[in-house]
Every structure is written in C-alpha cells, then in structure tokens.
Amino acid sequence: MAVTSAGILLHHGGPAPRVLIAHMGGPYWARKDARAWTVPKGLVEPGEDVVTAAHREFREEVGVPAPDLPAVELGAFRYASGKVVVVLAVEVPADLVGSPADPASDDLTTRPGVSTVEVEWPPRSGRRLTFPEVDRAQWTTWDDARERLVAGQVPAIDALAARGVPA
C-alpha cells in the first residue's frame, strides 16, 4: 500500500495572489531552491482522516496552526516513488500576510513547536544531527511555486488554477 501524506496549501487573492510554500530543512536542501520547496505536509497516521492529518502536519512543520477556514481537496498526487500526497487548499484573507498570525517566516529554526528530523551528516560519517523538517516558509506567486515545489506537487498548483481561483 502506498504511503500517504496530507498537506495544506494556503492561498490568497487580491491584487497580488500568492501561495504559501515551505523550504525543506537540513543540509542536503540548504543551498537548493528549485524543487526544494513543499506544501507543508506529512504522513497520515493509521485511522486518521486526511483533514486532521493535514492540520496536524501544518502545525508541526510551520509551528503555528493553519487558519481554521474551509478546506477544498485539490486531489491526491502520486510521486514517481509511489507516495501519494493529498493536498487541501485553504483560501485566507490577503491581510493575513504580515499579520501576527502569518505562518510565513524567514527562519523557522527558532519558532517553538517546529518538528525536527535526525539525519546522519555528513553521509556515512556516523554523526547524527537534528534539523527542522522545513526551515522557512514564504508567500510566492503561483508561477514561482511551480518552479520551486518538488515536481510531484506542481500539479496541486494546476488543480488550484483549474478550480477558477484567480492567479
């Protein structure tokens, strides 16, 4: 059975529509930009519904809860590895950007509650280091998100566009 993850893609309209994406943490991704970003997401636990998992994972990865607003399922997107990511879209007011409740941050490494992962670094060194799963989150244009998201998540942006949401 395929591994399933669930995530939340925040978006807002207005004169400058944007989506919120997160840069993957750790040394492997540190100097990468293209295809090094993700929708905040994580594994759906056995018996857990995707909405609950998506909200839990958003809070764990970004360190703040996703806004409690209606979510629309954009689809289940299969990676080449076989992993499936269910992406939920949540439209937020544009004035969330820059407010105290804004989940975007140039440095998530110091935000309390951000989940971490332990990896061997450098590879085959035997040395285990801890890094945040994502190290920053930012609002970006839809076109920029298509260039920066991991390839398996780009169709989520297209699915959002197909729903008639203005980009």
Q: Is residue 60 part of a domain?
A: yes
The residue segments making up the domain with residue 142 are 4-162
Q: Is residue 116 part of a domain?
A: yes
At residue 15's C-alpha, the angle toward residues 162 and 108, to 5°, is: 85
Contact indicator for 7, 42 with CB cutoff of 8 Å: yes
Question: Which residues are bridge partners to 136 per DSSP?
Answer: 23
CATH number at residue 51: 3.90.79.10
Tens of pLDDT, residue by residue over 1-34, are 679 999 999 999 878 899 999 999 999 999 999 9
Q: Is residue 167 part of a domain?
A: no
Q: pTM of the full predicted structure?
A: 0.94
Q: Is residue 85 part of a domain?
A: yes
Question: Which residues are bridge partners to 129 per DSSP?
Answer: 119
The number of folded domains in the chain is 1
**In terms of DSSP H, where are the helices of the chain?**
50-62, 142-148, 154-162
Tens of pLDDT, residue by residue over 36-84, are 999 999 999 999 999 999 999 999 999 999 999 999 999 999 998 999 9
User: What CA dihedral angle connects 107, 108, 112 and 113, to 10 degrees?
Assistant: 180
Q: Is residue 93 part of a domain?
A: yes
